Amino acid sequence: MVKVTFVAHDGRRFPVEIEPGMTAREAALFNEVPGIDGDCGGQCACATCHVHVDPAWIDRVGRLADDSMEADLLQFAEGTTTESRLACQIKLDDRLDGLVLRVPEQQY
């Protein structure tokens, strides 16, 4: 199992576990972590699973790729930073065991 901790906007922490191969979006939704909407069903089509990757983890997760659909969508989201990613595009494996993701105040 891969451990992921979601940190809500108000500081509450939601540690969850999920099987390798699943995405961070699924880790949040399957465990009812608040603040991740994921309207499109995980197809990188809506930008409502926006997360800020903890700076300590961003290199291992990887930054947003220029000219990707993910970047095209995230440019319209509120409060993006250089650590912004869509949770549906973060595939979890053993390398990411212990990952920390921060959830923005609201999805849009």
Partner 1 sequence: MATRSMQSGPDREEPDRPIAEIPLAEIDVSRPSLFQSDKVGAFFERLRREDPVHYCSESAFGPYWSITRYNDIMAVDTNHKLFSSEAKLGGIAIQDMHNDATNLELEMFIAMDQPKHDAQRKAVTPAVAPSNLLLLEPVIRERAGAILDSLPVGEEIDWVKSVSVELTTMTLATLFDFPWDERAKLTRWSDVTTAIPGSGIVESNEQRREELIECAMYFKGLWDQRVDRSEGSDLITMMANSPATREMPFLEFLGNLLLLIVGGNDTTRNSISGGVIALNQNPDQYEKLRQHPSLIGSMVPEIIRWQTPLTHMRRTALADSEIGGKRIAKGDKVVMWYLSGNRDETVIERPEEFIIDRKNPRQHLSFGYGIHRCMGNRLAELQLRIIWEEIHKRFRLVEMVGEPERLLSNLVRGITRLPVKLHAH
Residues of this chain that bind partner 1 (CB under 8 A) = 37, 39-41, 43-48, 69, 72-73, 75-76, 78, 105-108
Residues near 75 by Cβ (< 8 Å), separated by ≥ 6? none
Q: How far is the CB of 51 from partner 1 (least distance, A)?
A: 15
Q: How far is the CB of 98 from partner 1 (least distance, A)?
A: 29
If phi > 0 it is left, if psi is from -120 to 50 it is alpha, else beta; for residue 79 that is left
Which residue lies nearer to partner 1 by CB, 11 or 41? 41
